[in-house]
Amino acid sequence: MRRVVTIDGPAGSGKSTVARIVAERLGWRLLDTGAMYRSVALAALRAGIDLADEEALGTLASRITVSLPPGQVLLDDQDVTQAIRTVEVTRVTRFAAENPKVRQILAFWQRAFAAENDTITEGRDQGTVVFPDAPCKFFLTADPNERARRRHAEFLDRGESISFDEVLCDQQRRDAEDTERTLAPLRPAEDATLIDTTGRTIEEIATIVEAAARRCSGEASLPEPPQS
């Protein structure tokens, strides 16, 4: 096992951006586990599979490959980096997240990835289920309105037309689904550092996580932080 830092938290908490920045600064790989769940959902939509059919979705997940070369998401070698971010895929990804077989397969891929690479991994269950022994864990939260504002801006940037109220409503539903499901629910690991990102800059949070990652994983063997 190489070095692993886990960052979990709800949608819009800032974890994806923080994880990307810290991975870049440390020269580690970023593991966006939400992208994996989204890719399974997209594969099912494209194959015309009923996402609620637990067995069919599990079988599909065992037949596809999802890989995460730097900056990209590949589904069976096809670039789906943008396609997995639509409102439609975002809404149906819960079927993949609730599916035991899918979770089992993706957790296996995630551990295999971390066995090969020093990894900053982000998701919902990374510190609790997939990497319970990681020495350095974070759980990011933020005020729901601020989280919805961030998500809404992301959708608009990508040219999707959706109202703020719809994003907030979808977010409330997803939060409930993520925290209330019995399988790998969204919750902080007991040994995770909790950070509320409301009203704070991404830069500030990234600096905290980077410093902790260096401390937890042996500073001497890591590149020096840039001098400001």
Q: Do residues 171 and 151 lie in contact, with contact meaning Cβ atoms separated by under 8 Å? A: yes
Q: Are 136 and 217 in contact (CB under 8 A)?
A: yes
Longest Cα–Cα distance in the chain:
53
Query: Which of 4, 40, 31, 44 lies closest to 110 in space, CA to CA?
Result: 31
By beta-carbon proximity to ligand DC, the closer residue of 44 and 97 is: 97
Q: Which is nearer to ligand DC, 188 or 222 (CB)?
A: 188
Contact 32, 84 (CB under 8 A): no
Binding ligand DC (rule: CB under 6 A), the pick from 13, 14, 118, 178 is 178
Judged by CB under 6 A, the residue of 57, 97, 102, 167 near ligand DC is 97
Does residue 123 interact with ligand DC by CB under 6 A?
yes
210 in contact with ligand DC (CB under 6 A): no
Comparing CA positions, the residue from 119, 121, 127 lying closest to residue 188 is 127
Q: Cβ closer to ligand DC: 118 or 178?
A: 178
**What are φ and ψ of residue 195, in 5° steps?**
-130, 120
Using the contact rule CB under 6 A, the part of the chain among 18-26, 59-67, 93-101, 163-171 near ligand DC is: 93-101
Q: At closest approach, how far in Å is the CB of 57 from ligand DC?
A: 14
Asked if 43 is part of the footprint of ligand DC (rule: CB under 6 A), the reply reads no
3-class state of residue 194 by DSSP? strand
Residue 126 beta carbon to ligand DC: minimum distance, rounded to whole angstroms: 6
Number of residues in contact with ligand DC under rule CB under 6 A:
14
Residue pair 152/206 in contact by the 8 Å Cβ criterion: no
End-to-end Cα spacing for the chain: 33
- Our finding on whether 73 is near ligand DC (CB under 6 A) is no
Among 23, 25, 29, 37, binds ligand DC (CB under 6 A): 37
Query: Is the Cβ of residue 149 or residue 222 nearer to ligand DC in the bound state?
Result: 149
Segment near ligand DC (CB under 6 A); pick from 124-132, 159-167, 194-202, 218-226: 124-132
Helix, strand, coil % over all residues of the chain, rounded to 5: 55, 15, 35
Q: What are phi and psi of 155, to 5 degrees?
A: -60, -45
Q: Is 125 in the site for ligand DC (CB under 6 A)?
A: yes
Does 147 engage in binding with ligand DC (CB under 6 A)? no
Residues that bind ligand DC (CB under 6 A): 11, 33-34, 37-38, 93-94, 97, 123-126, 174, 178
